[in-house]
Structure 1
Amino acid sequence: MEDAPAGGTHALVVGVGRYPFLAGGEKEVPEHGGMGQLSSPPVSARAFADWLLREYAFAARPRASVALLLSEPGSDSYTNPRDGAIHTVPPATIENLVAAVKAWRVRAAGSAQNRLLFYFCGHGIAHGVDMALLAEDYNPADPNNPLDAALDFNGLRRGLRSSPAAEQLFFLDACRSTDAVLSDQDEHPYAGRVPLLYRRRPDDLPALRSTPYFATLAGERAFGRPEQVSLFTQALLRGLAGAGSTKSSGSWKVTTAQLAASIDDFMRRPVMAGTAALAQIPTANEVSDFEVHELAGDPRVPVYVSCLPPEDSVLADFSCRSRPAGGTVPADASPTLSRPCSEVDAEQEGDGEWYLELGPGDYHFEADLHDGRPRARDSFAWPPHLTVRLEAAP
């Protein structure tokens, strides 16, 4: 969608929700293995592309290009959130995906100061360290090779080792559960198409910093939400909004290590991830630490407020007031934010824990259980994922 000089970030964003050969598709085959149509990936990929085009900022590697592939029923357009331009988006077939990978690599070939960023949301299957990302036209009943319509993720990373771009980021919002198509193979498994041949990284290039983020552990499933951004992508976007940041050289910057920690914390919280907090554990086990994104202002700090004992949280009216540094909050000060117990969703996980986002600063937190026993605490909102526990005075 854009072209910029060398020294930029080149992104490839893929969202696959329409799978004609899987359950519910117009060409459904019996061998679908329980995999079917997905409504979350196109929404998630659009949300991530929106963030790249509207929010992403990093002076050393500004946004240089964003390519988007989407497979979804009834739409082939994307509206750029910055200028309103409408673009026709190719479907995420394997041929389009392979071509997009090759073009993406070429765009970033001009300088070691470039950054490659890859985002995929859709079906994935795995066996051990091998992972296949399934394109729209994946057909498990193909008698020759079903995985010819898949992308070999490890092969993709290996093929990019010789790219001059010294920083490479991968976000894989897909299942990594075992499938017979992979597990039935013997010594040299085929995990899909490999668009780029592996070549040794030239000695005159800077050391490669390559970091993959996975939505779930190897062998496990990832979860989307109907017609909504997936849990992993929601955690990713909140991390990029500031929860994964630290202050450096006078500004707030998201780093790869802080981002990994932030995603992990979000996904562990029942108040954020519901029952998936017990079933889906994200991982980024090859983190090479570098700065990713610079915030335009202060970060939004995730804060979790609850009572001690925790079961009292569903009975509490919570409030938060901004507090002058080193001072006290006037008794008649209006709440900065509040949550009455009547707003607690009866089906919400987390024992009524209150999630809110604040700018860094001093705050006064209260819980009113209407029992005459005040529960209050002053706290500074930082670092991210601050936990505030309110206990009744003796």
Structure 2
Amino acid sequence: MPPTVFSRNVLGAATRALVIGVGHYPSLPGGGGPQMQNPEGLKQLESPPVSAREFAQWLIENYRSDARPLATVQLLLSERHPAAFAYQADGAAVVATPQEANMATVKQAIRGWYELGNHNPDDLMLFYFCGHGVSEGALTALMMSDFGSEPMALMEGALDFHRFHAGMEDCQARHQCYFIDACRLPSTLLRRFDHAGDPVLQPGARPSPDGRVRLGPKFMSTLPGEASHAQPGKPSLFTGALLEALNGAGAGDEDGGDWIVKTNRLHAAMEYLVKEIIAEKGWEVGQQTITDGMQDLPLNTLERPIVPVSLTVTPKEAHIEATWLCTDGNGIDLQRDADLSPWNFRVPVGSYRFQASFSSPQYAQLVRNEIVRPPYVLRSLQVMTA
């Protein structure tokens, strides 16, 4: 078995995750190593190690699937100050050591991950990357920590994502899901060399090993030609949205009553959540989640999903002075004073009473009863004049 930060024995089908977060690049400006001659604006990153740690920790502590329990998590990080990885499992605190996210170690990790999933066609393979990326046409390069360290072969430290994904077609595990949290800005390197790095896996002669079609959706953090964004010290916009969607916004109960997060619902939830935080921050950016392959692939199972809610009042003059209450008659009692921005909050799925009161006597109190369920509740409520 390849080195893991988490593993448990699972009989039958299992979920197996490979998580990579690259923030420290020695050959990019400020990295402390021999410098790449033309880094094309690439620099050190703060968010990827934070984002990858959060995603790996969430998987270990929160992921639930009766059909395919979590069996392994491989975690590879590149950070300026390497640190241990801590989490809670089965009521105990665990401290593990991530691997280094250089290309040689990533290659071994990918091949080990492939072998773990190459025994049961019902396994679910999760791949997550956060770090530098560039795109040109169909080419997408994901940069590992040693990218640019070899002047004679600059792309040696990059993963050719398109060909890597194609190589996973031969893995017996027929269920695969890829989360790529990286910029997709154009690159003269890709134009010059016409390849995006090392594919690690070479497609063989037997795609679809048991005759079953592979489900392998790819979630990309942004459009081609656009950058991905983050806040200092926090998970990126994409990863934050992904975790919220996995916690409930991407869930549905159409399959007999259980709340199950599926890939087709995940996309709608993440797109909303990324736009929500961009609007909150007032950023003028073009980040938008893109999904290639909208298959109905089940992921996390939840007892009671957490749902994003956003409330405003029209006209705008009334919203500015609205004082809000949200209650469910069963212990949830939220309130907000008057504010210019929409009231964005999270509550478990259920029945709620939304109430807006106004300081001006010209506006009548507004009451609305709502069923809150995924993917989100977005309401602009019309107030009547008193």
Same fold? TM cut 0.5: yes
Deviations, residues 79-112 of structure 1 (Å, cap 9, x unaligned): 1322322212111001011110000001111110
**How do residues 1-394 of structure 1 correspond to structure 2 at under 5 angstroms?**
1-4=6-9, 5-27=11-33, 28-82=35-89, 83-139=92-148, 142-185=150-193, 189-199=194-204, 200-202=206-208, 204-247=210-253, 248-270=255-277, 274-276=281-283, 278-295=285-302, 297-310=303-316, 312-322=318-328, 336-341=333-338, 344=339, 351-372=340-361, 373=363, 374-394=365-385
Deviations, residues 48-80 of structure 1 (Å, cap 9, x unaligned): 001110011111111011000011122242113
Change in Cα spacing, 1:96 to 1:217, as seen in structure 2 (3 Å) is: same
The residue matched to 2:38 in structure 1 has which SS?
A: helix
Q: How far apart are 1:202 and its partner, in Å?
A: 4.2
Matched with 1:348 is: none
Identity between Structure 1 and Structure 2 (%): 31
CA distance in 1 between partners of 2:322 and 2:232 (Å): 31
Deviations, residues 230-280 of structure 1 (Å, cap 9, x unaligned): 111000000000100001222110011001110011112256663457421
* Structure 1 range deviating more: 86-95 or 46-55: 86-95
Contact kept? 1:2, 1:64, Cα under 8 Å: yes
Change in Cα spacing, 1:368 to 1:3, as seen in structure 2 (3 Å) is: same
Contact kept? 1:6, 1:108, Cα under 8 Å: no
CA distance in 2 between partners of 1:259 and 1:226 (Å): 25
Q: CA RMSD of the aligned region, Å? A: 1.9
- Aligned residue identity for 1:279: G
- Aligned residue identity for 2:159: L
Change in Cα spacing, 1:99 to 1:312, as seen in structure 2 (3 Å) is: farther
- Unmatched 5+ residue regions in structure 2? 1-5
Deviations, residues 177-210 of structure 1 (Å, cap 9, x unaligned): 101111223xxx2101111111231453421001
Contact kept? 1:16, 1:136, Cα under 8 Å: yes
- Aligned residue identity for 1:363: Y
Deviations, residues 339-394 of structure 1 (Å, cap 9, x unaligned): 112xx5xxxxxx51011112222222122230121233222212431112232214
- Aligned residue identity for 1:97: V
Contact kept? 2:315, 2:383, Cα under 8 Å: no
CA distance in 2 between partners of 1:21 and 1:203 (Å): 40
Contact kept? 2:208, 2:214, Cα under 8 Å: no
CA distance in 1 between partners of 2:86 and 2:182 (Å): 25
* Structure 1 range deviating more: 109-118 or 273-282: 273-282
Contact kept? 1:120, 1:173, Cα under 8 Å: yes
Change in Cα spacing, 1:202 to 1:233, as seen in structure 2 (3 Å) is: closer
CA distance in 1 between partners of 2:318 and 2:187 (Å): 44
Q: How far apart are 1:323 and its partner, in Å?
A: 5.5
CA distance in 2 between partners of 1:42 and 1:360 (Å): 32
Deviations, residues 30-56 of structure 1 (Å, cap 9, x unaligned): 512211111111111010001110011
The residue matched to 2:216 in structure 1 has which SS?
A: strand
The residue matched to 2:367 in structure 1 has which SS?
A: strand
Compute the TM-score of the two structures, normalised by the length of structure 1: 0.89
Q: How far apart are 1:3 and its partner, in Å?
A: 4.1
The residue matched to 1:254 in structure 2 has which SS?
A: strand
- Unmatched 5+ residue regions in structure 1? 325-333, 345-350
Q: How far apart are 1:134 and its partner, in Å?
A: 0.2
CA distance in 2 between partners of 1:212 and 1:315 (Å): 43
